[in-house]
C-alpha cells in the first residue's frame, strides 16, 4: 500500500429534510447573538424562514449576492458586518452566497453557518475566491471554512433541472478525480465512491421529477461528499481542461465539466486502473467513461463542446494551454493526447472502451 497523509477538516454537518429549522439552535451552539444573514434575491423565501428562526439573534440581512464575489460587494458586506457588530454569519444559497460569507469571514474571522442550495460544494472547503478587475484571486484560509453546514434537500427542489444536472455533474467530476489526483488515499476513494453512487442514482430522477425529495437527498448527499473530497486533495487533467475552457473561451463552468468528464476518464483509463475500478464499481458499469457519458445524456445535458459554443479553431490553443499548466495526472499529459481528448469532447462522441 502507498503511503499517504490525510487531514480531515473540522465541520459539523446537519443533514436532512427540514434541517433548516435547526438554524436557530445551530447559531446558538456557536454562542452567536448578532447574526448577519447573507442570502440573494432567489433565496428570499428560505431567508425569511431563517430570519424568523433566528428571532432576536438576527442583527441584519445582506442581499446583494453576485456571482464570483466581486471585491466591491465583499467590502460592502464586511462593512455591514462591522457596523452591525455581527458575531456570526449565516449564508443561504449556492456557491456565490457561500463565497460572499467566506470573503467576510476572511476579513473578520466571523464563524459561518452555511446553508447550501446547489451542488457546488464550496461550503466544505477552506478555499475562497474574490474577483476584482475580472481577475479571480483565490486562496486557502481555515477562517473561511464554515463551522456548521445545514444540508436540507427541501431547499433544492426549486433548482431548475438543467442547473441541477450540470451542478451535479460538476460534483461527480470532483469525486472521480479524487480517486486518482494528488492526495488520493483509501478514505478519499471510499468517500468519492459513495458520492459517485449517490449522484448517479439521483441525478436522472431529479431531472425527471425535481420535487422528488428522496432523489434530491441522494444528489445533495453526493454534493456533500464531493465537497469533502475537493477540500482535501488536488485536481487532475479534467479540472485543468475545464479551467482552460472556462477561463480562455468563456464556456459555462458546470456544463463543461459534464462534457469533458467522460473523455478525461477515457484518457486516464489505462493509467489508473485501480482508481477507475472504484469509479466503475460505484457506477455499476464496467466502462466508467461510457457510463458517465450516458449519465449526462440521461440528465438532459449537452454532450459536446461544440454545443457549448467552443470554437473548433481554438482546440489547438486549448491543448497547448492545458499542457503548459498540467497538474500531476496518472497518464502523462502530452499535447497530442490532450488534443485528441478535446476533439472527442468537441464532437460529443461516446467514449470508446480503452484497451
Ligand atoms: P450560484 O451560487 O451563483 O447559483 C447559481 C444560480 O442558481 C443563482 O442564480 C442562484 O440564485 C440560483 N439558485 C441557487 N440555489 C437555488 C435553488 N435552490 N433554487 C433555485 N435557484 C437557485 O452558483 P453555484 O454553481 O452554486 O456556485 C458557483 C460559484 O461557487 C462559483 O463562483 C465557483 O467559483 C464557486 N465555488 C467555490 C468553491 C470553493 O471551494 N471555494 C467550490 C465550488 C464552487
- Scored b (16 or more CB within 10 A) or e, 102-138 reads bbbbbbbebbbbbbbbbbbbbbbbbbbebbeeeeeee
Q: Which residues of 23-35 are buried (b: 16+ CB within 10 A; e: fewer)?
A: bbebbeebebebb
Q: Is the CB of 154 under 6 A from ligand 1?
A: no
Distance 227 CA to ligand 1 centre (A): 13
Q: Is the distance from the beta carbon of residue 167 to the nearest atom of ligand 1 less than 6 Å?
A: yes
Residue nearest to atom 2 of ligand 1 (CA): 94
Sort strands 88-93 and 112-116 into parallel, antiparallel or unpaired: parallel
pLDDT in tens, 79-122: 999 999 999 999 999 999 999 999 999 999 999 999 999 999 99
Q: Is the CB of 327 under 6 A from ligand 1?
A: no
Nearest Cα to Cα of residue 111 among 143, 80, 75, 85: 143
Residue 350 is predicted with a pLDDT of: 96
pLDDT at residue number 42: 86
232 lines ligand 1 (CB under 6 A): no
E strand or H helix that includes residue 180:
none
Nearest atom of ligand 1 to the alpha carbon of 163: 7
Note the Cα 122 to chain centre separation in Å. 6
> Candidates 50, 65, 74, 94: which one to mutate for ligand 1, based on the most atoms within 8 Å of Cβ?
94
Task: Give residue 2's pLDDT.
Answer: 84
Q: How far apart are CA 295 and CA 120, in angstroms?
A: 18
Q: Whole-angstrom Cα distance, residue 328 to residue 325?
A: 10
**CA 146 to centroid of ligand 1, rounded, Å:** 16
Residues of the chain where predicted confidence (pLDDT) is lower than 70 = 353-355
**In this structure, which residue's CA is closest to atom 11 in ligand 1?**
42
Q: How far apart are CA 324 and CA 326, in angstroms?
A: 6
Ligand 1 atom having least distance to the Cα of 125? 40
Hey, how many other C-beta atoms are within 10 angstroms of the C-beta on 323? Answer: 19
* Of 11, 296, 327, nearest in space to 151 by CA: 11
253 ligand 1 Cβ < 6 A: no
Ligand 1 atom 17, closest CA: 159
Q: Which of 17, 47, 96 to mutate to test the pocket of ligand 1 (most atoms within 8 A of CB)?
A: 96
The predicted pLDDT at position 110 comes to 98
CA distance 260 to 265: 9
Rounded Cα–Cα distance for residues 103 and 76 (Å) = 11
- Between CA 263 and CA 300 the distance in angstroms is 18
Q: Is 111 in the pocket of ligand 1 (CB under 6 A)?
A: no
Query: What is the side-by-side strand order in the sheet with 112-116?
Result: 12-15, 148-151, 112-116, 88-93, 35-39, 58-62
Q: Which residue has the cell 424568523?
A: 52
- Cα 88 to Cα 81: distance, rounded to the nearest angstrom: 9
Mutate which of 43, 63, 122, 152 for ligand 1 pocket (most atoms within 8 A of beta carbon): 122
Q: How many CB atoms lie within 10 A of CB 252?
A: 15
What is the whole-number distance in angstroms between the Cα of residue 64 and the centre of ligand 1? 14
How many whole angstroms separate alpha carbon 199 and alpha carbon 116? 16
Distance 273 CA to ligand 1 centre (A): 33
Residue 348 Cβ < 6 Å to ligand 1 = no
CA dihedral in degrees (46, 47, 48, 51; nearest 10)? 130
Can you tell me which residue has the cell 449576492?
Answer: 65
CA of 96 to the centre of ligand 1 (A): 5
Q: Report how far residue 175's alpha carbon sits from residue 203's, in angstroms, rounded to the nearest whole number.
A: 15
| Nearest CA among 266, 218, 225, 263 for reference residue 241 | 263
- The pLDDT value recorded for residue 133 is 79
Centre of ligand 1 from the C-alpha of residue 95, in Å: 4
127 touches ligand 1 (CB under 6 Å): yes
Ligand 1 and 114: CB distance under 6 A: no
What is the pLDDT, as a whole number, of residue 200? 98
Amino acid at each position: 500500500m502507498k503511503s499517504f497523509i490525510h487531514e480531515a477538516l473540522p465541520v459539523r454537518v446537519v443533514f436532512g429534510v427540514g434541517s433548516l429549522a435547526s438554524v436557530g439552535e445551530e447559531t446558538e451552539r456557536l454562542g452567536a447573538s448578532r447574526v448577519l444573514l447573507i442570502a440573494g434575491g432567489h433565496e428570499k423565501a428560505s431567508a425569511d424562514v431563517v430570519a424568523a428562526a433566528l428571532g432576536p439573534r438576527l442583527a441584519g440581512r445582506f442581499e446583494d449576492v453576485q456571482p464570483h464575489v466581486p471585491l466591491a460587494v465583499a467590502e460592502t458586506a464586511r462593512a455591514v458586518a462591522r457596523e452591525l457588530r455581527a458575531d456570526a454569519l449565516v449564508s443561504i444559497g449556492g456557491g456565490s452566497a457561500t463565497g460572499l460569507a467566506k470573503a467576510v469571514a476572511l476579513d473578520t474571522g466571523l464563524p459561518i453557518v452555511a446553508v447550501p442550495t446547489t451542488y457546488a460544494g464550496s461550503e466544505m472547503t477552506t478555499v475562497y475566491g474574490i474577483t476584482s478587475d475580472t481577475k479571480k484571486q483565490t486562496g486557502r484560509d481555515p477562517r473561511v471554512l464554515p463551522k456548521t453546514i445545514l444540508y436540507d434537500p427541501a431547499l433544492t427542489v426549486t433548482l431548475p433541472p438543467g442547473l441541477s444536472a450540470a451542478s451535479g455533474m460538476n460534483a461527480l467530476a470532483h469525486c472521480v478525480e479524487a480517486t486518482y489526483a494528488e492526495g488520493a488515499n483509501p478514505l478519499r476513494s471510499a468517500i468519492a465512491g459513495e458520492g459517485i453512487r449517490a449522484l448517479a442514482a439521483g441525478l436522472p430522477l431529479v431531472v425527471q421529477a425535481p420535487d422528488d425529495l428522496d432523489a434530491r437527498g441522494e444528489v445533495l448527499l453526493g454534493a456533500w461528499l464531493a465537497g469533502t473530497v475537493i477540500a482535501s486533495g488536488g485536481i487532475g487533467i479534467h479540472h485543468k481542461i475545464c479551467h482552460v475552457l472556462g477561463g480562455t473561451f468563456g464556456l459555462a463552468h458546470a456544463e463543461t465539466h459534464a462534457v469533458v468528464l467522460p473523455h478525461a476518464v477515457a484518457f486516464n483509463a489505462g493509467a489508473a486502473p485501480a482508481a477507475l475500478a472504484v469509479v466503475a464499481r460505484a457506477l455499476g458499469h464496467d466502462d466508467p467513461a461510457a457510463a458517465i457519458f450516458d449519465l449526462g445524456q440521461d440528465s438532459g445535458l449537452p454532450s459536446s463542446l461544440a454545443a457549448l459554443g467552443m470554437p473548433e479553431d481554438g482546440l489547438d490553443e486549448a491543448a497547448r494551454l492545458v499542457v503548459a499548466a498540467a497538474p500531476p495526472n496518472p497518464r502523462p499529459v502530452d499535447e497530442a493526447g490532450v488534443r485528441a481528448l478535446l476533439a472527442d469532447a468537441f464532437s460529443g462522441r461516446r467514449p470508446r472502451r480503452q484497451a
